[in-house]
Structure 1
Amino acid sequence: MGVSNSYLSRTEVQQLLGVNPFGLWRLVRKYDDFPRPTESPKEPEEVWDGFQVYRWAAHTPEFAHRGAVLLRPLPEDVAPGRWAGYKDTVRGPALDWHTALGTIRLVHCDDRRVATDIATEVAGRGNPDGVAVVCALYGDMSFHGPALVAADTAHPGIEYEADWGDVAALAGQDLPWWPDLLRLPHLIRAWEPGAPAVVAEVPANDNEKILRRVVGNYAFDVTSRLAATDMADDIRNNRIDAALHDNEIFGEEGHGERRNPVVIAAVPETGHHPRRSDGDRQVLEAGWLGLALSTHPDAVAAIEVAVGRQPDLLPFGALTEVPVRPGAISERWARRLTMCDPTAAHVVLAQGKKAEAFFLDPLTDMPVLRTVADHDGKQLWRFYAPLSLPAGDAELASVVLHHTVWVTTSDGHLHPAPCTPSEHLWWGNGYGDRPSEAATVINLLLDDLGATPNLREHWNAPKGLTALLNEDHKQGTELTRSTLLHARMTPPRNR
């Protein structure tokens, strides 16, 4: 998405403008607005920004015929163009219009360098269709319609922004627009001027396909299939809404008296829209728990979708890493881990890292694995923090700071502190950011060891606890219950 940068050497500037070295020296002195050279990002010699030179030429009568085609002044009483059908290109099907400036080729794609790639291909084949300029989508809205990136076949390496309204004026008709999710090759190839908007089904993306596979796989129980259905339907609703919104934005009336010359070419099929989603939360959580404990490859893929889309439905909190270190507080915790075969949760937890062994924390049911660090090859414990702790009648006895926050309890247990999936627990000087997440969790557990933290408003944590955790404690520092309670009641000193 966007306009690609290009740089021209002194020789290339001379070739573009059709001047010799003396001619370039002359025009630099004749025109105060001639672009200045800049330092090359790769070469020691000075270079010019290709777009600036190309735009300058288009706006300067002496050199307009050598400047960017769509930045030159439009001819007066320009004759309307003629639609010339579609052409398949290296970047998808494009639509052609024969115009007073030559053939304009418009491709409905907003990836980077699309205009340059197609213009280069056309020029390399001898330009049999007489294409003067290739336009691609910029991915944004301009004053008279969708923003465009253009590249001329005479200089395909120089991209510049073009005006949709100017292209429509040259074409002599409103130009078609497809929403992002309906830019399907067969729809673009079938379009003709005057055709009504096609009603088309929004294709499923990879995430929806993964979840639909789970829905159709009776190896999973009904609750897991319901959970997958709910998330798949939510994705479908979002994609149809996105296509509708695209059409509203890009097909809107113009900002002034003049209407944007845009024709909506396709609308999403909405016969069953919206589908019911956001079902009973307890049912959904139970279904995702079943998938997390599964050993089926489809469950792994589904959990990966959920981690990226709605991690709060999953039965575990933030991903955490702690070095394997003899004598550290984590060694005491590790002694209670039970070795197990990997589940879907373990595979997603690994994130492609090589695991030496897989474990389960029998008190919190959190998946754990032992792996090695990328930077030094030393062993690491990698695990999900629990969402809450098993409490019974126990209370928080102390907190130990060792690469994360650890909680010791009055009945002799040790746990990684609970955390939400999208946050992390830390302490020390955060260069302006204070460890209010950890302070919020500790404040909650001081009153109720089994409480489930909600970190949406962690900045409201007790200031005294936050100040205590903002200190640069050494790894392994233990803060007793009385120390924490005292800090919670003590306002921090002004510095």
Structure 2
Amino acid sequence: MGVSSSYLTKTEVQEMLGVNAFGLWRLVRKYDNFPQPTEPPYDPFAAFGDNKDPEEVWDGTQLYRWAAKTPEYSHRGALLLRPLPEDLTPGRWGGYKDTVRGPALDWHTALGTLRIVHNDDRQAAADVAANLTKAGNPDGVRVVCALYGDMGITGPALVAADTAHPGIEYEAGWGDVVALAGQPLPWWPDLLRLPELIREWKPGSPAAVAQVPSNRTEKILRRVARNDAFDVTSHLAVTDMANDIRNDRTDSCEHENEIFGRDRYGESPNPVVIAAVPDTTGHPLRSGGDREVVTAGWRKLALSNHPDAVAALEVAVGREPGLLPYGALTEVPDRPGTIVERWARRLTMCDPTAAHAVLAHGDSAEAFFIDPLTDMPALRTSGRGGKPLWRFYVPLSLPANGGELASVVLHHTMWITTSDGHVHPAPCTPTEHLWWGNGGGDRPSEAAAVVDVLLDDLAATVNLREHWKAPKGLTTLFNEEHKHGAELTRATLLHARMTPPRQR
């Protein structure tokens, strides 16, 4: 997506503009807006060379644009940035061609053949143009256009590369290409840019109605939903999420068609032909079912040791971690004599579950554990430098059993000690992270919000959606730079909560 960078040496600049060294020297002095040379892109292998000063280079896109806008050199500049002929003969459709970046449509115009690749991947235009040039350009294509991935002033934004200089990409106007073609151009939403649909399109064709293809995550969830190794509750959970993914993808296509095909404000409609619309039969699929049933299904999958359960859980962690019974993923070093060691002594070694496998995230683990008081999975592994560390999910809430928060210990994360002698990682929502000190952002207020709730109810489930409303005194306390291992007693925390911050 976007215009790729290119750089030209002094010799290449002279060749492009058709001048010698003296002519280039003259240009620099004649035109105040002539592009200035720049430093070449970083070359990691340059250090092994002869240590010569790098040669000056010019930004290829900038120079190509300048030439197109300068009358003396417009014939050597970007083709689609040159002034268009006043009396344009309407172009005609030239059919489709398969390219290295997928099917493209050709248009025979007053400027020659334009090839439009309906692809917004980076360097798509340059790659197709270069491939044509390498093959001798048998179709006589002068410009290759690809999608930029955004909306321009006159329609979808385009990236162009001329076959005369295939390595240089530049932005082109949809309206200019429409003027050359003599008719609005077809456009497909991202998820329906299917080769078979592009190949079948012809001017005047109605919009194709097509099923939105399933992506990898939906396919995984559908597979799990068919697996008899799991019960009906787990089937309902994964089906609910798969339906939600399918609904989102269908909605995305409809939304894109609305944006790219809608009328421009106060002007004529965008010169766009919507070439495909999603099949909305049965849309939307049922999703957002009973929260208790869905979370119960995911809890069972998390405790399974089936590979499909691991695959499904990986999808859920990335898409909607709030459905899982786990808080934030946390890592701390395994060091003797610390609060971590006190907590780790309680852990029970166990066989790995799907939750452990997702927690490992491809790393090797020395052993797998479960916290018997919170049911949180944990594992011991090696971090950078081979030093052992603990990786675990913090709980969403703590067991109370009549106890109360006794202190907070700060050691690579926030730990809670209780009046009945237990140690727990502080509860936290799946997408947040508890810290202290001047760490940037608003992290101290999140820690303050957790402590504020636990001081009143050790078993409370934390909600950090409005963490910035935490007592200012607690936020100020956690905004201070505390050393690892620092312990803040209940009395200290209560005093901070009732103390307003000092006015500066």
Which bracket does the TM-score occupy, shorter chain normalised?
over 0.9
Per the alignment, residue 24 of structure 2 pairs with 24
**Alpha-carbon distance between aligned partners in 1 of 2:332 and 2:66, rounded to the nearest angstrom:** 58
For residues 329-340 of structure 1, the aligned pairs below 5 Å read: 329-340=339-350
Q: Aligned-pair distance for 1:246?
A: 0.4
Q: Aligned-pair distance for 1:144?
A: 1.2
The C-alpha deviation readout for 1:118-140, integer Å capped at 9, x for no partner, is: 00000000000000000000001
- Any gaps of 5 or more consecutive residues in structure 2? 43-52
Letter in 2 for 1:416: P
Q: Aligned-pair distance for 1:281?
A: 0.7
User: SS where residue 26 of structure 2 aligns?
Assistant: helix
Name whichever of 217-226 and 18-27 sits farther off: 18-27
**Alpha-carbon distance between aligned partners in 2 of 1:434 and 1:4, rounded to the nearest angstrom:** 37
Per the alignment, residue 229 of structure 2 pairs with 219
- Any gaps of 5 or more consecutive residues in structure 1? none
Equivalent of 2:483 in 474, 482, 490: 474
**Alpha-carbon distance between aligned partners in 1 of 2:326 and 2:151, rounded to the nearest angstrom:** 41
Name whichever of 404-413 and 161-170 sits farther off: 404-413
Q: Aligned-pair distance for 1:470?
A: 2.0
Q: Aligned-pair distance for 1:15?
A: 0.3
Name whichever of 413-422 and 54-63 sits farther off: 54-63
**Alpha-carbon distance between aligned partners in 2 of 1:475 and 1:323, rounded to the nearest angstrom:** 12
Q: Aligned-pair distance for 1:432?
A: 6.5
Equivalent of 1:417 in 410, 426, 432: 426
Equivalent of 1:454 in 446, 463, 483: 463
Q: Aligned-pair distance for 1:34?
A: 2.0
Letter in 2 for 1:385: V
**Alpha-carbon distance between aligned partners in 2 of 1:348 and 1:56, rounded to the nearest angstrom:** 53
2:340 equivalent to 1:344: no
Per the alignment, residue 174 of structure 1 pairs with 184
Q: Aligned-pair distance for 1:36?
A: 2.0
Per the alignment, residue 324 of structure 1 pairs with 334
Per the alignment, residue 487 of structure 1 pairs with 496
Per the alignment, residue 50 of structure 2 pairs with none
Contact persistence 1:434–1:466 (CA under 8 A): no
Q: Aligned-pair distance for 1:434?
A: 5.3
**Alpha-carbon distance between aligned partners in 2 of 1:321 and 1:25, rounded to the nearest angstrom:** 60
User: SS where residue 114 of structure 2 aligns?
Assistant: strand
Per the alignment, residue 146 of structure 2 pairs with 136
Contact persistence 1:322–1:381 (CA under 8 A): yes
Equivalent of 2:448 in 439, 442, 458: 439
Per the alignment, residue 113 of structure 1 pairs with 123
User: SS where residue 501 of structure 2 aligns?
Assistant: coil
User: SS where residue 358 of structure 1 aligns?
Assistant: strand
**Alpha-carbon distance between aligned partners in 1 of 2:113 and 2:441, rounded to the nearest angstrom:** 57
Q: CA RMSD in A?
A: 1.3
User: SS where residue 199 of structure 2 aligns?
Assistant: helix
Q: Aligned-pair distance for 1:462?
A: 1.0
Equivalent of 1:426 in 426, 435, 452: 435
**Alpha-carbon distance between aligned partners in 1 of 2:377 and 2:473, rounded to the nearest angstrom:** 34
Letter in 2 for 1:198: A
User: SS where residue 39 of structure 1 aligns?
Assistant: coil
Per the alignment, residue 408 of structure 2 pairs with 399
**Alpha-carbon distance between aligned partners in 2 of 1:134 and 1:21, rounded to the nearest angstrom:** 31
**Alpha-carbon distance between aligned partners in 1 of 2:414 and 2:62, rounded to the nearest angstrom:** 55
User: SS where residue 466 of structure 1 aligns?
Assistant: helix
Per the alignment, residue 90 of structure 1 pairs with 100
The C-alpha deviation readout for 1:23-72, integer Å capped at 9, x for no partner, is: 22222223333222222234712221111221121122222221111011
The C-alpha deviation readout for 1:345-383, integer Å capped at 9, x for no partner, is: 001111122111000001100000000112x21110110
2:149 equivalent to 1:149: no
2:329 equivalent to 1:312: no
The C-alpha deviation readout for 1:294-351, integer Å capped at 9, x for no partner, is: 1111111111111111111100000111111111111111111111111110011111
Q: Aligned-pair distance for 1:433?
A: 4.3
Per the alignment, residue 206 of structure 1 pairs with 216
Letter in 2 for 1:126: G
Q: Aligned-pair distance for 1:290?
A: 0.5
Letter in 1 for 2:390: W
For residues 254-269 of structure 1, the aligned pairs below 5 Å read: 254-269=264-279
User: SS where residue 416 of structure 2 aligns?
Assistant: strand
TM-score with structure 1 length normalisation?
Answer: 0.98
Per the alignment, residue 41 of structure 2 pairs with 41
For residues 191-202 of structure 1, the aligned pairs below 5 Å read: 191-202=201-212
User: SS where residue 435 of structure 1 aligns?
Assistant: helix
Q: Aligned-pair distance for 1:429?
A: 2.5
Q: Aligned-pair distance for 1:414?
A: 1.5
TM-score with structure 2 length normalisation?
Answer: 0.96
Aligned residue-pair number: 494
Contact persistence 1:85–1:96 (CA under 8 A): yes
**Alpha-carbon distance between aligned partners in 2 of 1:338 and 1:148, rounded to the nearest angstrom:** 59
**Alpha-carbon distance between aligned partners in 1 of 2:461 and 2:377, rounded to the nearest angstrom:** 18
**Alpha-carbon distance between aligned partners in 1 of 2:259 and 2:425, rounded to the nearest angstrom:** 48
Equivalent of 1:162 in 152, 172, 177: 172
Structure 1 vs Structure 2: percent identity of aligned residues? 76
2:14 equivalent to 1:14: yes
Letter in 2 for 1:480: T
Contact persistence 1:200–1:266 (CA under 8 A): yes
Per the alignment, residue 383 of structure 1 pairs with 392
Letter in 2 for 1:299: A
Letter in 2 for 1:132: R
Per the alignment, residue 299 of structure 1 pairs with 309
**Alpha-carbon distance between aligned partners in 2 of 1:94 and 1:151, rounded to the nearest angstrom:** 14
**Alpha-carbon distance between aligned partners in 2 of 1:479 and 1:59, rounded to the nearest angstrom:** 67
User: SS where residue 398 of structure 2 aligns?
Assistant: coil
**Alpha-carbon distance between aligned partners in 1 of 2:496 and 2:21, rounded to the nearest angstrom:** 75
Q: Aligned-pair distance for 1:453?
A: 0.2
The C-alpha deviation readout for 1:249-293, integer Å capped at 9, x for no partner, is: 001123453332110000000011111111111111101101111
Cα separation, partners in 2 of 1:266 and 1:456, compared to 1, 3 Å: same
Letter in 2 for 1:377: G
Contact persistence 2:435–2:443 (CA under 8 A): no
User: SS where residue 38 of structure 1 aligns?
Assistant: coil
User: SS where residue 330 of structure 2 aligns?
Assistant: strand
**Alpha-carbon distance between aligned partners in 2 of 1:20 and 1:489, rounded to the nearest angstrom:** 78
Letter in 2 for 1:80: P
**Alpha-carbon distance between aligned partners in 1 of 2:226 and 2:441, rounded to the nearest angstrom:** 50
Per the alignment, residue 110 of structure 2 pairs with 100
**Alpha-carbon distance between aligned partners in 2 of 1:420 and 1:128, rounded to the nearest angstrom:** 60
